[in-house]
A and B are shown apart, each in its own frame.
Chain A
Amino acid sequence: MIHPTRRSVLKTGAFFTCCCLGQFSLARAQSAGRVALPVTEFEDGVFAFSGIPEMMSANNRGEICNVGFIVGEEAVAVVDSGGSVAEGRALIASIRAVSDKPIRYLINTHMHPDHIFGNAAFEDTGATVVGHQSLPRALASRGDYYLRSFRESLGASLMADVKIIPPTKLIAGEETLDLGKRQLTLKAWKPAHTDNDLTVFDQQSQALFTGDLCFIDHLPTMDGSLRGWMEQLETLKTINAKLAVPGHGPVPSKWPEALEVERRYFETLARDIRKSIADGVPMAEAVKTAAQSERPNWRLFDEYNERNATAAFAELEWE
């Protein structure tokens, strides 16, 4: 979307920009023996790694979503642990490259494997795992399925260390976490991308970590409520942030413009599906044509669109 406005410093040695796949593979090639994840400090003390817009695989170590951390006077908070314990460890290495302060919090923005499979890497850091109040329930019913079903795509060796570690500090509504002269506002949302979405707002820099409530580039995936997501975009938009780290997409992105591409996709999808339902078109047929006009605008469109359309159909036919 946009490039870092102030600094784009790569703390791990090599220079790095966020929008070029070629450089991603270069970073990957160099990463064979690497320890740290290449993060960008786009605001003072606010760091993020830009995930690769692909499906999780052994090749990309599950590093497909954006993860980051915020450094306060006393402590560090991490936002999402990544898609493998290897990625989680690399993220810790990135933190240690810039700060020796304790990691006080590991915040999980929601239940999806690309955001939580790295949790086990933080077990020895003493970090408190923080999540939406509905996250433990979601992990209880899905965790086992995640562990089994990702064995094939990530491979046995990456999966060996992965554990489902639910949060112990639960957020309902809004709550503030203190990192020492630096406050983070955490907000728990109603069902949207999932039924356990959480956002993290750094008051000092006005940077917002949206979790997967915001997708850019990578087609949004539907695992909660399309209507809930569309409705809450209005509230989300009013958050007084300057820059955002979307769950997937360029780091950082301009706010609230970052929400516009997914809004257009949701509106198109909902409109097409609602029309099919009204016309009595069966689900199997409806999902084949829904939102096809959005195809050129997204990566991974063919991987996720029909599935999204299926979920949207099952939800909207109850209207």
Chain B
Amino acid sequence: MTIVSTIRHNRIISVVLLTLLATAVPLAAGAQGTTVPASTTWTSLKGDVFGQKAVEPANGIITIEAPKRAEDAALVPIDLHFKTDATSGRIKTVTLIVDENPSPVAAVFKFGKDAGVTHLATRLRVNAYSYVRAIAETEDGKLHMTETFVKASGGCSAPALKNQDEAVASLGKMKLRVFPSSAPGSEPMTRATEMQLMIRHPNNSGLQMDQITRYYIPAHFIQGLTVSQGDRLIMSMEGGISISEDPNFRFEFDAKPGEDVKVEAADTEGKKFQNEWPLQSSSL
């Protein structure tokens, strides 16, 4: 699996890791303020992630939904909808950023050419009152950004694991759910299928200090993920520590009945997980 394939992507990983190493401690400790921060974080972040490229307002090409106040900062549901037109072309990648997190780039999603992904939902850790933003890159090379503000705190440094033995025992276990078509009566050939992919993984942030040894518990998270059907790439993800424990992705795409759905994932310890599910026409 080659998830990290382009120079730009390598650069993002560096940003993720460097920021993590350089600022993890002070940010985790000090980022519990209660005021809405200015977008200064984004201003300095933008260049690191996208260089000199212009980032335009999304104008509906991509929309983001998140709770205004997170009940559980380690499990903040984020909903993305895509609506492209002929001028911009389809969305090639989406970068999900949590400005105030120690490692701001939560994930970079890449979509297959004919995958037809129109909706993607996942769950994030949010460490402080923060903007959560999604930047879509369309085929014409333009960047389109939408953002929302989430009040949450401690999502990265809070150990989310509620049942540690279970977490270890079920590492890498996957579950795929297929939902009935959301558009009843749609043409069989263009019918979108909604799926939910769940992976058991602690997705440790590495920001939790062992109170006895005073060492940080090492980060251990899902780094790369690909979902494909037959030979077709549906989507791939480069992930960071801001994706919640037990990574969870719900998405809508153009499914081809009868072809297997295949998922491959790799974590920071080099462990690889994979699974395949037959997709019967009847389940579409």
List residues of chain A with CB under 8 Å of any chain B CB: 134, 136-145, 147-149, 152, 164, 166, 191, 194-195, 222-225, 228, 280, 282-284, 287, 306-307, 309-311, 314-315, 317-318
A141 pairs with B161, CB closer than 8 A: yes
B72 pairs with A282, CB closer than 8 A: no
Chain A residues whose C-beta falls within 8 Å of the C-beta of B72 in the assembled complex: 307, 310-311
Q: Is B246 an interface residue (CB 8 A)?
A: yes
Q: Enumerate 14 A-B pairs (CB-CB under 8 Å) in ascending A order.
A: A142-B158, A143-B209, A145-B157, A148-B28, A148-B32, A148-B154, A152-B32, A195-B162, A280-B177, A280-B180, A280-B194, A282-B250, A310-B72, A318-B198
Complex Cα spacing A63 to B145, Å: 47
Whole-angstrom distance between the Cβ of B199 and the nearest chain A Cβ? 11
Given contacts A145-B159, A148-B29, A195-B164, 6 further A-B contacts (CB under 8 A): A136-B212, A140-B213, A148-B28, A152-B32, A194-B162, A225-B163
B75 pairs with A310, CB closer than 8 A: yes
A223 pairs with B164, CB closer than 8 A: no
Residue on B nearest A137 in the bound complex, by CB: B164
In terms of DSSP, what is the predominant structure of the interface of chain B? loop
Checking A149, A194, A311, A318 against B32 with a beta-carbon cut-off of 8 angstroms, the contacting residue is A149
B162 pairs with A224, CB closer than 8 A: yes
Checking B71, B162, B198 against A191 with a beta-carbon cut-off of 8 angstroms, the contacting residue is B162
Chain A residues whose C-beta falls within 8 Å of the C-beta of B75 in the assembled complex: 283, 310-311, 314
Instruction: Given A311-B72, A318-B175, check contact A284 B159 (CB 8 Å).
Output: no
Chain A residues whose C-beta falls within 8 Å of the C-beta of B177 in the assembled complex: 280
Complex Cα spacing A195 to B180, Å: 36
Chain A residues whose C-beta falls within 8 Å of the C-beta of B158 in the assembled complex: 142, 145, 149
Whole-angstrom distance between the Cβ of B283 and the nearest chain A Cβ? 13
A282 pairs with B71, CB closer than 8 A: no
Checking B121, B123, B163, B208 against A141 with a beta-carbon cut-off of 8 angstroms, the contacting residue is B208
A142 pairs with B32, CB closer than 8 A: no
A166 pairs with B71, CB closer than 8 A: no
A282 pairs with B157, CB closer than 8 A: no
Using a CB-CB cutoff of 8 Å, which residues 28-44 of chain B contact chain A?
28-29, 32
Interface residue count for B (Cβ, 8 Å)? Answer: 39
Q: Is B55 an interface residue (CB 8 A)?
A: no
B79 pairs with A284, CB closer than 8 A: yes
Most buried by A among B28, B163, B212, B250: B163
Chain A residues whose C-beta falls within 8 Å of the C-beta of B28 in the assembled complex: 148
A306 pairs with B163, CB closer than 8 A: no
Chain A residues whose C-beta falls within 8 Å of the C-beta of B210 in the assembled complex: 140-141, 144
Complex Cα spacing A306 to B213, Å: 34
Complex Cα spacing A139 to B159, Å: 10
Most buried by B among A141, A191, A306: A141
Minimum-distance CB pairs A-B, first 9: A143-B211, A144-B209, A284-B77, A306-B71, A141-B159, A191-B163, A140-B210, A307-B71, A164-B211
Chain B residues whose C-beta falls within 8 Å of the C-beta of A284 in the assembled complex: 65, 67, 77, 79
B162 pairs with A317, CB closer than 8 A: no
Complex Cα spacing A146 to B153, Å: 13
Chain B 189-208 against A: per-residue CB contact (8 Å), 1 yes, 0 no? Answer: 00000100010100000001
Chain B residues whose C-beta falls within 8 Å of the C-beta of A309 in the assembled complex: 71
Chain B 58-70 against A: per-residue CB contact (8 Å), 1 yes, 0 no? Answer: 0000000101000
Chain A residues whose C-beta falls within 8 Å of the C-beta of B200 in the assembled complex: 318
Chain A residues whose C-beta falls within 8 Å of the C-beta of B231 in the assembled complex: none
Whole-angstrom distance between the Cβ of A192 and the nearest chain B Cβ? 10
Q: Is B54 an interface residue (CB 8 A)?
A: no
Chain A residues whose C-beta falls within 8 Å of the C-beta of B159 in the assembled complex: 141-142, 145
A140 pairs with B67, CB closer than 8 A: no
Q: Is B179 an interface residue (CB 8 A)?
A: yes
B213 pairs with A310, CB closer than 8 A: no
Chain B residues whose C-beta falls within 8 Å of the C-beta of A166 in the assembled complex: 211-212
Residue on A nearest B123 in the bound complex, by CB: A283
